[in-house]
């Protein structure tokens, strides 16, 4: 049973940076596809970034393009979300999620309902 644990959230000033980390309990076929989502209470969950860990082209949402990047983390079996030039509208609960597969070149095509493993979330507040 794979588990995901997010870390790195917190409060930051406008224009600041944070690195969120998503650590998987193991690197199995169940975590081939990793996504970061965010959600504000009362609003729909928004996809932020997705990558196929094997050999994928990362997807970055237009709302964060040029400011956020997704990459392998320093910790074992982790994927990081580097967030720069943060804005108040980036304030949300951030979740990472894993799925067995997503297209390498267009990983965002995998609908979020297909993701079968989710972390507990980490809060990011920008003010």
The pLDDT-based confidence of 75 (bands split at 50, 70, 90) is confident
Residue 33 has pLDDT above 90, yes or no: yes
Averaged pLDDT, 45-64: 92
Q: CA 120 to CA 99: how far, in whole Å?
A: 16
Poorest-confidence range of 24-33, 34-43, 63-72? 24-33
Residue 56 has pLDDT above 80, yes or no: no
């Amino acid at each position: 049973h794979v588990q995901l644990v997010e870390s790195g959230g917190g409060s930051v000033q406008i224009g600041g940076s944070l690195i969120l980390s998503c650590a998987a309990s193991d690197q199995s076929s169940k975590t081939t596809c990793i996504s970061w989502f965010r959600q504000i209470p009362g609003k729909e969950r928004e996809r932020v970034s997705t990558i196929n860990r094997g050999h994928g082209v990362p997807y970055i949402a237009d709302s964060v393009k040029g400011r956020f990047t997704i990459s392998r983390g320093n910790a074992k079996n982790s994927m990081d979300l580097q967030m720069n030039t943060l804005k108040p509208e980036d304030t949300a609960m951030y979740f990472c999620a894993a799925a067995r597969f997503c297209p390498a070149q267009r990983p965002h095509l995998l609908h979020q309902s297909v993701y079968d493993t989710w972390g507990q979330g980490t809060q990011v507040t920008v003010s």
